[in-house]
Amino acid sequence: MLIIMNSQASEREIEEVAARVRALGRAAHVARRDDETVIGAVGEGRRLPAEALLRLPGVANVVPLPKPYKLASRDFQHDDSVVMVRGVPVGGRHTAVIAGPCTVEGEAMLWRIARHCRERGAAILRGGAFKPRSSPYSFQGLGAEALAMLRACGDELGMPVCTEVMETRQVEAVARHADLIQVGARNMQNYSLLSEVGKTHKPVLLKRGLSASVKEWLLSAEYVLAEGNPNVILCERGIKTFEESVRYSLDVTSVPVVRRDSHLPILVDPSHAAGRRELVGALALAGIAAGAHGLVVEVHDQPETALCDGPQALLPGDLEGLMGKVQKISEALGRKLFRPAREHCPLNAAGNDRHPQRESR
Ligand code: PEP
Ligand code: MN
Protein backbone atom coordinates (compact mmCIF):
# COMPACT_ATOMS: atom_id res chain seq x y z
CA MET A 1 0.00 0.00 0.00
CA LEU A 2 1.18 3.52 -0.79
CA ILE A 3 0.43 6.40 1.53
CA ILE A 4 0.71 9.75 -0.19
CA MET A 5 1.32 12.67 2.16
CA ASN A 6 0.06 16.10 1.24
CA SER A 7 2.68 18.60 0.16
CA GLN A 8 2.44 20.56 3.41
CA ALA A 9 2.87 17.51 5.65
CA SER A 10 5.44 18.15 8.38
CA GLU A 11 8.36 15.85 9.15
CA ARG A 12 6.62 14.94 12.37
CA GLU A 13 3.43 13.93 10.57
CA ILE A 14 5.45 11.82 8.14
CA GLU A 15 7.27 10.11 11.01
CA GLU A 16 3.99 9.47 12.83
CA VAL A 17 2.45 7.80 9.79
CA ALA A 18 5.62 5.71 9.30
CA ALA A 19 5.49 4.69 12.97
CA ARG A 20 1.84 3.68 12.60
CA VAL A 21 2.72 1.57 9.56
CA ARG A 22 5.46 -0.17 11.53
CA ALA A 23 3.09 -0.74 14.43
CA LEU A 24 0.81 -2.51 11.95
CA GLY A 25 3.63 -4.94 11.18
CA ARG A 26 4.83 -3.47 7.89
CA ALA A 27 8.10 -1.87 6.80
CA ALA A 28 7.72 1.84 6.02
CA HIS A 29 9.79 3.09 3.09
CA VAL A 30 9.70 6.86 2.88
CA ALA A 31 10.45 8.42 -0.51
CA ARG A 32 10.05 11.85 -2.05
CA ARG A 33 8.49 12.30 -5.44
CA ASP A 34 7.86 15.67 -7.07
CA ASP A 35 6.87 17.87 -4.13
CA GLU A 36 5.21 15.14 -2.11
CA THR A 37 6.38 12.46 0.25
CA VAL A 38 5.14 8.91 -0.11
CA ILE A 39 5.37 6.03 2.31
CA GLY A 40 5.43 2.51 0.95
CA ALA A 41 3.92 0.15 3.51
CA VAL A 42 5.28 -3.24 2.51
CA GLY A 43 5.17 -6.70 3.97
CA GLU A 44 2.68 -9.44 4.69
CA GLY A 45 -0.01 -9.46 7.31
CA ARG A 46 -3.58 -8.54 8.05
CA ARG A 47 -5.21 -6.09 5.66
CA LEU A 48 -4.12 -2.51 6.39
CA PRO A 49 -6.91 -0.20 7.63
CA ALA A 50 -6.87 2.24 4.70
CA GLU A 51 -9.64 4.47 6.08
CA ALA A 52 -7.89 4.88 9.42
CA LEU A 53 -4.60 5.72 7.72
CA LEU A 54 -6.37 8.24 5.49
CA ARG A 55 -7.61 10.10 8.58
CA LEU A 56 -4.09 10.60 10.00
CA PRO A 57 -2.83 14.21 9.89
CA GLY A 58 -0.92 15.03 6.70
CA VAL A 59 -2.20 12.08 4.65
CA ALA A 60 -3.57 13.04 1.22
CA ASN A 61 -4.37 9.61 -0.20
CA VAL A 62 -3.93 5.88 0.27
CA VAL A 63 -3.63 3.71 -2.82
CA PRO A 64 -2.80 0.04 -3.40
CA LEU A 65 0.53 -1.11 -4.84
CA PRO A 66 -0.88 -3.89 -7.01
CA LYS A 67 2.34 -5.38 -8.39
CA PRO A 68 4.09 -8.18 -6.45
CA TYR A 69 7.23 -6.03 -6.37
CA LYS A 70 6.49 -2.77 -4.58
CA LEU A 71 9.50 -0.46 -4.20
CA ALA A 72 10.74 -1.36 -7.69
CA SER A 73 7.43 -0.42 -9.30
CA ARG A 74 6.45 2.75 -11.11
CA ASP A 75 3.39 2.85 -8.86
CA PHE A 76 5.74 3.55 -5.93
CA GLN A 77 7.82 6.06 -7.86
CA HIS A 78 6.72 7.63 -11.13
CA ASP A 79 10.00 9.27 -12.06
CA ASP A 80 13.10 7.49 -13.32
CA SER A 81 15.74 6.78 -10.71
CA VAL A 82 19.20 8.00 -11.59
CA VAL A 83 21.73 5.95 -9.63
CA MET A 84 25.01 7.79 -9.08
CA VAL A 85 27.98 5.47 -9.39
CA ARG A 86 30.78 7.52 -7.89
CA GLY A 87 29.72 10.57 -9.90
CA VAL A 88 28.53 8.75 -13.03
CA PRO A 89 24.77 9.08 -13.53
CA VAL A 90 23.01 5.86 -14.60
CA GLY A 91 19.34 6.15 -15.55
CA GLY A 92 16.93 8.90 -16.54
CA ARG A 93 18.12 10.92 -19.51
CA HIS A 94 21.69 9.63 -19.29
CA THR A 95 23.56 6.94 -21.20
CA ALA A 96 26.60 5.32 -19.59
CA VAL A 97 28.88 2.58 -20.87
CA ILE A 98 30.59 0.09 -18.58
CA ALA A 99 33.51 -1.59 -20.33
CA GLY A 100 36.51 -3.74 -19.55
CA PRO A 101 37.79 -7.28 -19.68
CA CYS A 102 35.69 -10.26 -18.69
CA THR A 103 38.30 -11.13 -16.11
CA VAL A 104 41.20 -9.37 -14.47
CA GLU A 105 44.06 -11.55 -15.66
CA GLY A 106 46.86 -9.40 -14.26
CA GLU A 107 47.88 -5.84 -13.59
CA ALA A 108 49.41 -4.94 -16.95
CA MET A 109 46.47 -6.16 -19.04
CA LEU A 110 43.96 -4.44 -16.77
CA TRP A 111 45.67 -1.07 -16.98
CA ARG A 112 46.14 -1.36 -20.76
CA ILE A 113 42.52 -2.28 -21.41
CA ALA A 114 41.18 0.22 -18.90
CA ARG A 115 43.05 3.01 -20.68
CA HIS A 116 41.69 1.86 -24.05
CA CYS A 117 38.14 1.90 -22.63
CA ARG A 118 38.48 5.27 -20.96
CA GLU A 119 40.00 6.91 -24.01
CA ARG A 120 37.06 5.70 -26.08
CA GLY A 121 34.49 7.11 -23.68
CA ALA A 122 33.57 4.30 -21.30
CA ALA A 123 32.45 5.77 -17.99
CA ILE A 124 32.90 2.78 -15.66
CA LEU A 125 35.54 0.03 -15.65
CA ARG A 126 34.42 -3.58 -15.32
CA GLY A 127 36.50 -6.68 -14.60
CA GLY A 128 35.82 -10.00 -12.93
CA ALA A 129 37.72 -10.91 -9.77
CA PHE A 130 35.52 -13.85 -8.76
CA LYS A 131 34.28 -15.65 -11.87
CA PRO A 132 31.24 -17.90 -12.11
CA ARG A 133 32.46 -20.56 -14.55
CA SER A 134 30.45 -23.45 -15.96
CA SER A 135 33.38 -25.79 -15.37
CA PRO A 136 35.19 -26.07 -12.03
CA TYR A 137 38.42 -26.58 -14.00
CA SER A 138 38.21 -23.20 -15.78
CA PHE A 139 40.07 -20.14 -14.50
CA GLN A 140 38.13 -18.86 -11.50
CA GLY A 141 39.59 -15.34 -11.30
CA LEU A 142 42.37 -13.78 -9.23
CA GLY A 143 40.02 -13.02 -6.33
CA ALA A 144 41.10 -10.51 -3.69
CA GLU A 145 44.26 -9.67 -5.63
CA ALA A 146 42.12 -8.56 -8.59
CA LEU A 147 39.92 -6.41 -6.34
CA ALA A 148 42.97 -4.41 -5.26
CA MET A 149 44.14 -4.06 -8.87
CA LEU A 150 40.73 -2.80 -9.98
CA ARG A 151 40.57 -0.27 -7.18
CA ALA A 152 44.05 1.10 -7.87
CA CYS A 153 43.43 1.28 -11.61
CA GLY A 154 40.02 2.94 -11.25
CA ASP A 155 41.38 5.49 -8.80
CA GLU A 156 44.29 6.39 -11.00
CA LEU A 157 42.26 6.69 -14.21
CA GLY A 158 39.28 8.37 -12.58
CA MET A 159 36.91 5.50 -13.41
CA PRO A 160 34.44 3.96 -10.96
CA VAL A 161 34.80 0.17 -10.94
CA CYS A 162 32.29 -2.65 -11.23
CA THR A 163 32.95 -6.24 -10.27
CA GLU A 164 30.94 -9.33 -9.40
CA VAL A 165 30.26 -10.75 -5.98
CA MET A 166 29.45 -14.46 -5.98
CA GLU A 167 28.65 -15.25 -2.38
CA THR A 168 27.80 -13.58 0.91
CA ARG A 169 31.29 -14.12 2.37
CA GLN A 170 32.75 -11.92 -0.39
CA VAL A 171 30.35 -9.01 0.07
CA GLU A 172 32.45 -7.06 2.57
CA ALA A 173 35.63 -7.18 0.47
CA VAL A 174 33.85 -6.48 -2.82
CA ALA A 175 31.89 -3.57 -1.30
CA ARG A 176 35.15 -2.13 0.06
CA HIS A 177 36.80 -2.12 -3.37
CA ALA A 178 34.01 -1.68 -5.91
CA ASP A 179 31.79 1.31 -6.68
CA LEU A 180 29.20 -0.91 -8.34
CA ILE A 181 28.63 -4.44 -7.06
CA GLN A 182 27.54 -6.89 -9.74
CA VAL A 183 25.22 -9.76 -8.95
CA GLY A 184 25.58 -12.13 -11.87
CA ALA A 185 22.87 -13.94 -13.81
CA ARG A 186 23.48 -17.21 -11.96
CA ASN A 187 22.95 -15.51 -8.63
CA MET A 188 19.88 -13.45 -9.49
CA GLN A 189 17.80 -15.66 -7.25
CA ASN A 190 20.37 -16.04 -4.47
CA TYR A 191 18.16 -14.21 -2.00
CA SER A 192 20.60 -14.16 0.90
CA LEU A 193 23.23 -12.60 -1.37
CA LEU A 194 20.72 -9.98 -2.55
CA SER A 195 19.86 -9.03 1.02
CA GLU A 196 23.52 -8.84 1.93
CA VAL A 197 24.38 -6.48 -0.96
CA GLY A 198 21.26 -4.52 -0.04
CA LYS A 199 22.75 -3.87 3.39
CA THR A 200 25.88 -2.28 1.89
CA HIS A 201 23.89 0.63 0.40
CA LYS A 202 26.32 0.60 -2.51
CA PRO A 203 25.06 0.66 -6.09
CA VAL A 204 24.19 -2.84 -7.30
CA LEU A 205 24.17 -4.09 -10.89
CA LEU A 206 21.61 -6.88 -10.99
CA LYS A 207 21.82 -9.08 -14.04
CA ARG A 208 18.80 -10.94 -15.26
CA GLY A 209 18.80 -14.68 -14.57
CA LEU A 210 19.31 -17.00 -17.53
CA SER A 211 15.71 -18.15 -17.41
CA ALA A 212 14.07 -15.55 -15.21
CA SER A 213 10.94 -13.64 -16.14
CA VAL A 214 10.91 -9.86 -15.83
CA LYS A 215 8.64 -10.24 -12.81
CA GLU A 216 11.09 -12.58 -11.06
CA TRP A 217 13.93 -10.19 -11.90
CA LEU A 218 12.10 -7.19 -10.41
CA LEU A 219 11.28 -9.26 -7.33
CA SER A 220 15.00 -9.92 -6.95
CA ALA A 221 15.62 -6.17 -7.19
CA GLU A 222 13.01 -5.80 -4.46
CA TYR A 223 15.23 -7.84 -2.09
CA VAL A 224 17.95 -5.18 -2.41
CA LEU A 225 15.49 -2.28 -2.17
CA ALA A 226 13.76 -3.80 0.85
CA GLU A 227 17.05 -3.50 2.76
CA GLY A 228 16.84 0.26 2.29
CA ASN A 229 19.31 0.32 -0.62
CA PRO A 230 17.67 2.28 -3.44
CA ASN A 231 20.73 2.07 -5.74
CA VAL A 232 19.75 -0.78 -8.05
CA ILE A 233 20.62 -0.91 -11.75
CA LEU A 234 19.20 -3.76 -13.84
CA CYS A 235 21.08 -5.44 -16.69
CA GLU A 236 19.51 -7.51 -19.46
CA ARG A 237 22.14 -10.04 -20.60
CA GLY A 238 20.16 -12.53 -22.66
CA ILE A 239 18.07 -15.55 -21.72
CA LYS A 240 18.07 -19.22 -22.67
CA THR A 241 15.90 -20.04 -25.64
CA PHE A 242 15.87 -22.82 -28.26
CA GLU A 243 18.08 -20.67 -30.53
CA GLU A 244 21.56 -22.13 -30.99
CA SER A 245 23.30 -19.54 -33.16
CA VAL A 246 24.04 -17.31 -30.18
CA ARG A 247 25.04 -17.92 -26.58
CA TYR A 248 21.81 -16.43 -25.21
CA SER A 249 18.94 -14.55 -26.86
CA LEU A 250 19.11 -10.89 -25.91
CA ASP A 251 15.57 -10.09 -24.84
CA VAL A 252 15.35 -6.51 -26.09
CA THR A 253 11.66 -6.57 -25.25
CA SER A 254 12.48 -6.61 -21.57
CA VAL A 255 13.85 -3.07 -21.86
CA PRO A 256 10.57 -1.28 -22.60
CA VAL A 257 8.72 -3.69 -20.30
CA VAL A 258 11.03 -2.83 -17.39
CA ARG A 259 10.84 0.87 -18.23
CA ARG A 260 7.06 0.74 -18.20
CA ASP A 261 6.78 -1.15 -14.94
CA SER A 262 9.78 0.10 -12.97
CA HIS A 263 11.64 3.34 -12.30
CA LEU A 264 14.99 1.54 -12.02
CA PRO A 265 17.73 2.12 -14.62
CA ILE A 266 18.32 -0.71 -17.09
CA LEU A 267 21.47 -1.52 -19.05
CA VAL A 268 22.03 -4.09 -21.77
CA ASP A 269 24.97 -6.52 -21.91
CA PRO A 270 25.27 -7.58 -25.55
CA SER A 271 28.57 -9.43 -24.99
CA HIS A 272 27.30 -12.35 -22.91
CA ALA A 273 24.17 -12.62 -25.05
CA ALA A 274 25.96 -12.70 -28.40
CA GLY A 275 28.97 -14.76 -27.42
CA ARG A 276 30.55 -13.57 -30.70
CA ARG A 277 32.28 -10.25 -31.29
CA GLU A 278 30.70 -9.64 -34.70
CA LEU A 279 27.19 -9.62 -33.20
CA VAL A 280 27.87 -7.41 -30.20
CA GLY A 281 27.55 -4.02 -31.94
CA ALA A 282 24.12 -4.65 -33.44
CA LEU A 283 22.72 -5.94 -30.15
CA ALA A 284 24.22 -3.01 -28.24
CA LEU A 285 22.57 -0.50 -30.57
CA ALA A 286 19.25 -2.36 -30.43
CA GLY A 287 19.36 -2.16 -26.64
CA ILE A 288 20.04 1.57 -26.61
CA ALA A 289 17.36 2.20 -29.23
CA ALA A 290 14.89 0.20 -27.13
CA GLY A 291 15.47 2.60 -24.25
CA ALA A 292 18.32 1.08 -22.21
CA HIS A 293 20.30 3.57 -20.15
CA GLY A 294 23.61 2.16 -21.27
CA LEU A 295 25.73 -0.89 -21.89
CA VAL A 296 28.00 -3.40 -20.26
CA VAL A 297 30.54 -4.57 -22.84
CA GLU A 298 33.59 -6.77 -22.67
CA VAL A 299 36.76 -5.42 -24.26
CA HIS A 300 40.17 -7.06 -24.72
CA ASP A 301 43.18 -5.96 -26.71
CA GLN A 302 44.46 -9.53 -27.17
CA PRO A 303 41.27 -11.57 -27.15
CA GLU A 304 42.95 -14.65 -28.62
CA THR A 305 44.95 -15.02 -25.40
CA ALA A 306 42.07 -14.10 -23.02
CA LEU A 307 41.51 -16.52 -20.15
CA CYS A 308 37.75 -16.06 -20.39
CA ASP A 309 35.23 -14.97 -23.04
CA GLY A 310 37.80 -13.92 -25.67
CA PRO A 311 35.52 -14.60 -28.69
CA GLN A 312 32.94 -12.05 -27.51
CA ALA A 313 35.39 -9.31 -26.49
CA LEU A 314 35.35 -6.15 -28.58
CA LEU A 315 38.71 -4.80 -29.70
CA PRO A 316 39.43 -1.23 -28.59
CA GLY A 317 38.81 -0.02 -32.16
CA ASP A 318 35.39 -1.75 -32.19
CA LEU A 319 34.48 0.08 -29.00
CA GLU A 320 35.42 3.38 -30.58
CA GLY A 321 33.08 2.82 -33.54
CA LEU A 322 30.30 1.64 -31.25
CA MET A 323 30.55 4.65 -28.94
CA GLY A 324 30.01 7.06 -31.84
CA LYS A 325 26.79 5.25 -32.79
CA VAL A 326 25.63 4.99 -29.18
CA GLN A 327 26.09 8.73 -28.88
CA LYS A 328 23.98 9.40 -31.99
CA ILE A 329 21.12 7.13 -30.89
CA SER A 330 21.22 8.58 -27.39
CA GLU A 331 20.96 12.10 -28.78
CA ALA A 332 18.04 11.10 -31.01
CA LEU A 333 16.28 9.86 -27.87
CA GLY A 334 17.05 13.03 -25.89
CA ARG A 335 19.73 11.33 -23.81
CA LYS A 336 23.19 12.49 -22.91
CA LEU A 337 26.12 10.09 -23.20
CA PHE A 338 28.38 10.42 -20.17
CA ARG A 339 32.01 10.70 -21.22
CA PRO A 340 34.94 10.84 -18.82
CA ALA A 341 36.83 14.14 -18.64
CA ARG A 342 39.53 14.49 -21.28
CA GLU A 343 42.32 14.66 -18.71
CA HIS A 344 42.89 11.69 -16.48
CA CYS A 345 41.80 12.84 -13.07
CA PRO A 346 42.21 10.49 -10.12
CA LEU A 347 38.98 9.73 -8.25
CA ASN A 348 38.76 11.55 -4.97
CA ALA A 349 38.06 9.73 -1.76
CA ALA A 350 34.38 10.72 -1.66
CA GLY A 351 32.11 7.71 -1.72
CA ASN A 352 28.93 7.14 -3.65
CA ASP A 353 25.91 9.34 -3.27
CA ARG A 354 23.56 7.47 -1.02
CA HIS A 355 20.33 8.27 -2.79
CA PRO A 356 19.39 8.15 -6.44
CA GLN A 357 18.19 11.32 -8.07
CA ARG A 358 14.84 11.46 -9.82
CA GLU A 359 14.09 12.56 -13.34
CA SER A 360 10.65 12.91 -14.86
CA ARG A 361 10.23 10.77 -17.96
C1 PEP B 1 30.03 -11.20 -16.37
O2 PEP B 1 29.49 -10.09 -16.54
O3 PEP B 1 31.24 -11.34 -16.28
C4 PEP B 1 29.17 -12.39 -16.27
C5 PEP B 1 29.65 -13.56 -15.86
O6 PEP B 1 27.91 -12.17 -16.66
P7 PEP B 1 26.57 -13.04 -16.46
O8 PEP B 1 26.36 -13.18 -14.99
O9 PEP B 1 25.55 -12.19 -17.14
O10 PEP B 1 26.80 -14.35 -17.16
MN1 MN C 1 32.44 -12.64 -19.45
**What's the mean pLDDT in 107-134?**
97
**What's the mean pLDDT in 54-69?**
96
- Residue 166 alpha carbon to ligand 1 centre in Å: 11
Find the range with the poorest average confidence among 29-33, 128-132, 186-190, 316-320. Answer: 29-33
Q: At what angle do helices 316-332 and 277-289 cross, to 10 degrees?
A: 20
Cβ neighbour number for residue 305 with a 10 Å cutoff: 10
Q: Is 272 in the pocket of ligand 1 (CB under 6 A)?
A: yes
Q: Is 185 in the pocket of ligand 1 (CB under 6 A)?
A: yes
pLDDT at residue 346, as a whole number:
63
**What's the mean pLDDT in 96-102?**
98
- Residue 140 alpha carbon to ligand 2 centre in Å: 12
Where does the pLDDT of residue 361 fall: very low under 50, low under 70, confident under 90, or very high at 90 and above?
confident
Which residue's alpha carbon is nearest to atom 6 within ligand 1?
184
Query: Which of 269, 280, 309 to mutate for ligand 1's pocket (most ligand atoms within 8 Å of CB)?
Result: 269
Pairing of strands 80-85, 357-359: antiparallel
| CB neighbour list of residue 356: distance below 8 Å, 6 or more residues apart | 81, 82, 83, 84, 91, 230, 231
- Residue 122 alpha carbon to ligand 1 centre in Å: 18
pLDDT at residue 352, as a whole number:
53
pLDDT at residue 349, as a whole number:
46
Q: Are 310 and 299 in contact (CB under 8 A)?
A: no
- Residue 109 alpha carbon to ligand 2 centre in Å: 15
- Residue 124 alpha carbon to ligand 2 centre in Å: 16
**Protein residues placing their CB within 5 Å of the ion ligand 2:** 102, 309
Q: Is 285 in the pocket of ligand 1 (CB under 6 A)?
A: no
* 19-53 pLDDT, tens digit each: 999 999 999 999 987 788 999 999 998 899 999 99
Which residue's alpha carbon is nearest to atom 4 within ligand 1?
184
Q: Which atom of ligand 1 is nearest to the CA of 187?
A: 8
Q: Please choose, from the candidates 211, 160, 208, the residue with its C-alpha nearest in 3D space to the C-alpha of residue 181.
A: 160
pLDDT at residue 348, as a whole number:
53
pLDDT at residue 33, as a whole number:
76
Task: Provide long-range contacts, Cβ within 8 A and 24+ apart, for 173-177.
Answer: 173/144, 173/147, 174/129, 174/130, 174/147, 175/200, 175/202, 176/147, 177/147, 177/148, 177/150, 177/151
* 244-298 pLDDT, tens digit each: 999 999 999 999 999 999 999 999 999 999 999 999 999 999 999 999 999 999 9
**What's the mean pLDDT in 163-190?**
98
Q: Which atom of ligand 1 is nearest to the CA of 131?
A: 5
Q: Are 183 and 163 in contact (CB under 8 A)?
A: no
**Mean pLDDT, all residues of the chain:** 95
The C-alpha atoms of residue 198 and residue 83 are separated, in whole angstroms, by 14
**What's the mean pLDDT in 75-88?**
96
* 330-339 pLDDT, tens digit each: 999 999 999 9
